[in-house]
Amino acid sequence: MDYVLTTDALSKHYGHFKALNECTMHIPKGAIYGFVGKNGAGKTTLIRLICGLQKATAGSYRLYGMDSADKEIAKARRRMGAVVETPSLYLDMTAEENLKEQYRILGLPSFEGIPELLKLVGLENTGKKKAKNFSLGMRQRLGIAIALAGDPDFLVLDEPANGLDPQGIIEMRELILELNRKRQITVLISSHILDELSRLATHYGFIDSGHIVKEISAQELDAACRKCVRIEVSDTKALSWVLDSMKVEYKILSDTQADIFDKINITELTLALATEHCEVRSIDEREESLESYYVNLIGGGEHE
């Protein structure tokens, strides 16, 4: 598989505190990589390291195949755009003026790409309105436009939906999906809104105490979080016998409960159990969410 970013035992220590502890991760080209962890788990630290804002204590990373120790790593970073923590904006400037300033910083030859960028992030009609008068969602979208100014093919977003209202979250989701699908931009997105992340991510990395606990594709996660029917009966021995005869996949949870993973005819099952003098007490559909998967993997607590 072709990876945009890999880290190898990447570590960052502050005295005795290990913000990152031998963190190893793999972000495939073309992915939307959901980066999930509690407060203080190390997500922002890792993002700051790969953006060159801090230096690692130990370990390394490769960006587009270039080692972090290589003198030319800055060239690889030019293919990145990032919004770390809060967008860096000139609040007394308009959206267009902010982008012009970024174009100057990057040494771009002309401003001709600015109208397209403003339209892409939905800020084409802001005119002379200054960034200090923008809503939080508009500021976030302007931050992404600035990150896109150098035409990167890897975008790093640290909590892009943080503090947004429901409409702002939807707009942010649609923008990220468009950048990924239409422009083939690989996205690393750190977010504590797990339900929203599950609508976006193609891959996940779960981090705890500065260490990647698990990496999994959305497809693998869907298989792990598959739907089932939970049934409560008076006797699971009878239930097992009936389900075996129906050649249905199931898992016995207790003397009275079981999960059934195949589609079943409820009427047929109930009648078959009745002939075995087994009473059906309740039936309900269940589906494990990204959040419940995360809690089972890492444990409860606040998310970053």
DSSP helix/strand/coil, 300: coil
**pTM of the complete model beyond 0.75:** yes
CA dist 110 and 124 (Å) reads: 18
CA dist 259 and 59 (Å) reads: 44
CA dist 304 and 301 (Å) reads: 10
DSSP helix/strand/coil, 149: coil
- Same domain (yes/no): 87, 198: yes
- Same domain (yes/no): 246, 146: no
Q: Which domain covers residue 262, as residue numbers?
A: 226-287
- Same domain (yes/no): 43, 191: yes
CA dist 186 and 18 (Å) reads: 28
- Same domain (yes/no): 97, 162: yes
CA dist 301 and 291 (Å) reads: 11
Please report, for the domain that includes residue 111, its CATH number. 3.40.50.300
Q: How many domains does one find in the chain? A: 2
In a domain, 296, yes or no: no
What pLDDT score was predicted for residue 300? 57
- Same domain (yes/no): 97, 136: yes
- Same domain (yes/no): 166, 242: no
* pLDDT (tens place) for every residue of the chain, 304 residues total: 899 999 999 999 999 999 999 999 999 999 999 999 988 899 999 999 999 999 999 999 999 999 999 989 999 999 999 998 778 899 999 999 999 999 999 999 999 999 999 999 999 999 999 999 999 999 999 999 999 999 999 999 998 988 888 998 999 999 999 999 999 999 999 988 888 899 999 999 999 999 999 999 999 998 777 778 999 999 999 999 999 999 999 999 999 999 998 888 999 999 999 999 999 999 998 877 888 888 888 875 544 4
- Same domain (yes/no): 23, 52: yes
- Same domain (yes/no): 79, 203: yes
Closest residue by Cα to residue 112 from 123, 121, 100: 100
Closest residue by Cα to residue 38 from 195, 206, 160: 206
